[in-house]
Amino acid sequence: MLKTSNGIEYTVRESKRAKRVLVTVSPTSHVEVVIPSGYQRKGLPELIEGQSDWIVKQLKQFCTMNRSLKPETIDFKTTGQKWSVKYSNLDANHLSVQESPSLNLALDGDVDDLVQVNRALNGWVRRKAQIILGEWLETLSNELSIPFNRLTIRHQRTRWGSCSKSNNISLNQNLMFLPRSITRYVLIHELCHVKQPNHGPNFWRLVEQHVKNSKSMGIKTRKTGCFVPGWANP
């Protein structure tokens, strides 16, 4: 790794196809200088220093992006659990996700591949939602004496849940990030649709039996997207 006098680290790659010197900054904060074959490298440090303002700006932008797409913590407000996330860059063809009872989540593999990291994290959230929301829905179903058919966990941007004519309930995995009272309201809301398929007066009376100020809670639910971190949005 080479370094300029003002501290910018970079690598040099010679390319037969290059017609001029090209400085690039990758999402992994790697500065690469591509030069044409036979180019005299002596003047590269000065050339790079001349572009240092642009390079530093790019590095800061990618650093911010990496922090947002590779969270250090995952806050499940629905359960009150806050997971710590550690990333280990290993030479592997796939990314593994392992959790420990102490609320530690370890991602091992090519953790510089942000697409792969995002897919792995959201897949893990989906699996946690299937277990946690599934058990909670079963408990509420028994308490309310409202049986349902089947639960499906989805990754959606605009809908927190739905109930089909066959009494199949669908829940958004991002409910895991919402306050517990909001998530409880969504689960009860969808269970009530088993008995009342529409949003008529009978439906709201049924919901109100189990959730006080249910219409107010419904309005709050539509404003809870702020609780979902950027990396978890579909």
**pLDDT, tens digit, 9 for 90 and up, residues 97-116:** 999 999 999 999 988 888 88
The answer to whether residue 202 sits within a structural domain is: yes
Total count of domains within the chain: 2
Q: Is 108 within a domain?
A: no
Q: In this predicted model, what pLDDT tens digit does every residue of 151-191 receive, in sequence order?
A: 999 998 789 999 999 999 999 999 999 999 999 999 999 99
Q: Report the CATH number that the domain containing residue 195 is assigned in CATH.
A: 3.30.2010.10
The torsion of the CA quartet 126, 129, 131, 136, rounded to 10 degrees, works out to -160
In this prediction, residue 66 carries a pLDDT of 62
Of 69, 85, 100, the residue at which a domain comes to its end is: 69
100 lies in a domain? no
Rounded Cα distance between 116 and 180, Å, is 29
Q: Which of 132, 119, 96, 131 is nearest to 86 (CA)?
A: 96
Full DSSP string of 77-129 = TTTTEEEEEEEEE-S-SS-EEEEETTTEEEEEE-TT-HHHHHHHHHHHHHHHH
- Percent above pLDDT 90 for the chain: 57
The confidence score (pLDDT) of residue 173 equals: 98
In-domain check, residue 189: yes
Within-domain flag for 99: no
Q: Three-state SS for 210?
A: helix
Structural domain of 208 = 113-232
- Tell me, yes or no, whether 117 and 63 share the same domain: no
Does 85 map to a domain?
A: no
Do 122 and 65 share a structural domain? no
Given 36, 69, 102, the domain boundary residue is: 69
User: Are 49 and 159 within one domain?
Assistant: no
Average pLDDT, the chain: 91
pTM assigned to the model: 0.75
* Single residue among 45, 69, 93 that ends a domain in this structure: 69
Are residue 119 and residue 226 in the same domain, yes or no?
yes
Find which of 5-9, 33-37, 66-70, 161-165 is predicted with most confidence, using mean pLDDT: 161-165
| Measured distance CA(179)–CA(36) in Å, rounded | 56
Question: 47-50 — which CB contacts under 8 Å span 24+ positions?
Answer: 47/21, 47/23, 48/4, 48/8, 48/10, 48/23, 49/4, 49/5, 49/6, 49/8
157 compared with 82, residue with greater pLDDT: 82
The CA distances from residue 116 to 123, 134, 146, 221, in Å, are: 10, 26, 40, 30
Residue 77 inside a domain? The answer is no
Residue 160 burial (C-beta neighbours within 10 Å; 0-12, 13-18, 19+): buried
Residues 45 and 127 in one domain: no
Residue 28 resides in a domain: yes
* pLDDT at residue 46 greater than cutoff 70: yes
Q: Are residues 117 and 218 in the same domain?
A: yes
